[in-house]
Structure 1
């Protein structure tokens, strides 16, 4: 498979009181063309920092290593090159659709902007924006195109955010916790929508999440991060069936099940990590017993 996104030896630091603080430590990650890769881990593990580094969205961050998108090296690239890949090379869906949208701008103009700034006429951008909203399931898209974000529900706002991310037809879609603020039914709708759009357009997808139930039904491959490092990566079926790293076992073992005995304490991630100091060959029975089935 052709590698669309290649991250190698990525290190990200932020200014500290006395010296820079490194929060991502030598991450390696590949998103092949047309594949959906989930980047998982607890809050603070470095998932979002890694993803945002692709588009270099944090001006205070110092990025070292290599990030290649479609063969173009982005670390150390001129600002003009990085700006050029935002939207057309890689689109980004943020986790909170309400704060991702400008509340005083009509949603239609926000959808059109990625095209207009690339020289597409406003008329054509509007037509393409309306057609895309209609494709994404917004009823009466032409009339709603001039509404404001507060006039949309959470699920509809997320569809607007997805439209902004993909209207310039990027090769890579980065979805950073895209369903966190949504209820379960709307979560399923948004994920199905992302799945369909990715397959139709042949996009690579990097999904950032802490929800392994979502990963099981969406991703092709999984990369697990802890404390700013990658601890395990594998195809999704392989990882759920036989997780190798204690931390991965802990994440799977901590998932509650409907058939669990409510009187039995859930296994915590710490139970696994504290028990196994190094990766070993013990069977993955705890994950199979307590984890989610795909």
Structure 2
């Protein structure tokens, strides 16, 4: 890690209104990303990883956030809404897990790709040229013609490329990818992850990958942060965490991953039972 990280999250807490008062779902999370670094935030559904990631852009209107979220030294929690809108896209890009739900079905994909530039004063002609170039770079064939197509005319993998184009066309320093491969088949998953890896290296762009799939983390991220029940329970280099996990929950997650050549007669461990066993010191990550 550098002395001045691109993103520094300190003691982040997130609460939502409940019937009997605020309910805290993220409990004092610390997180850092250096420029150009790829970090995975992993955990089960409901662990708080997506809320943590969305908090960086203050996307949950009903959430009360405390702590500090510093991007290049600026605390995003202190900024007015207008300034936050400027940072979304230019400072931080976001890729959601469901590309179809992320896209406006009645607007062309070209219009949607160019909006992050147009609203920042770039001419429509220049924005279109840059959008077509980027879409072609992302592997969409005949990008000039397809630029005026609608989301329903694209496959799931192609729609995800469109969403990535929207997220990075303004050249953000940080990209948050929230379960970007969940709805895709294994082959397309690999393509999308390879693409994100190449883009991060080319642009010196930091990537925060949100996922529950430990299998894709090993080939993509440099560091991993494990979350459970709104807490960051373990973090460190991927190789170290996978080889020598310290927390019972991390060991349980790894124990539940299917392995090629494993004993097919034995059921996979569930997270709950595996954590209980791990806390007794009997679970091995191998």
Q: Tell me how far 1:153 sits from its aligned partner.
A: 0.5
Q: Provide the secondary structure at the position in 2 that maps to 1:86.
A: helix
Q: For 1:163 and 1:242, locate their aligned partners in 2 and report how far apart those are by CA, in whole Å.
A: 37
- How do 1:71-150 and structure 2 match up within 5 A? 71-150=73-152
The residue aligned with 2:285 is 287
Question: For the aligned residues, what is the CA RMSD?
Answer: 1.2
Q: For 1:275 and 1:158, locate their aligned partners in 2 and report how far apart those are by CA, in whole Å.
A: 39
TM-score under structure 2 length normalisation: 0.97
Q: For 2:123 and 2:113, locate their aligned partners in 1 and report how far apart those are by CA, in whole Å.
A: 13
Q: For 1:19 and 1:274, locate their aligned partners in 2 and report how far apart those are by CA, in whole Å.
A: 31
Divergent runs of 4+, >4 A: none
The residue aligned with 1:291 is none
The residue aligned with 2:186 is 184
Q: For 1:155 and 1:60, locate their aligned partners in 2 and report how far apart those are by CA, in whole Å.
A: 32
From 242, 259, 274, give the equivalent of 2:276.
274
From 32, 46, 49, give the equivalent of 2:48.
46
From 168, 183, 202, give the equivalent of 2:170.
168
Q: For 2:97 and 2:133, locate their aligned partners in 1 and report how far apart those are by CA, in whole Å.
A: 24
From 67, 70, 74, give the equivalent of 1:68.
70
Question: Structure 1: any 5+ residue segments left out of the alignment?
Answer: 289-294
Q: For 2:228 and 2:44, locate their aligned partners in 1 and report how far apart those are by CA, in whole Å.
A: 7
Q: Tell me how far 1:276 sits from its aligned partner.
A: 4.7
Contact 2:251 2:278 in 1 (8 A): no
Q: Provide the secondary structure at the position in 1 that maps to 2:144.
A: helix
From 196, 199, 202, give the equivalent of 1:200.
202
Q: Provide the secondary structure at the position in 1 that maps to 2:47.
A: coil
1:5 paired with 2:7, answer yes
Q: Tell me how far 1:269 sits from its aligned partner.
A: 2.0
1:188-224 deviation digits (Å, cap 9, x = unpaired): 0000000000000000000000000000110000000
- How do 1:189-268 and structure 2 match up within 5 A? 189-268=191-270
Q: Provide the secondary structure at the position in 2 that maps to 1:25.
A: strand
TM-score under structure 1 length normalisation: 0.94
Q: For 2:257 and 2:174, locate their aligned partners in 1 and report how far apart those are by CA, in whole Å.
A: 30
Q: Provide the secondary structure at the position in 2 that maps to 1:168.
A: coil
Question: Structure 2: any 5+ residue segments left out of the alignment?
Answer: none
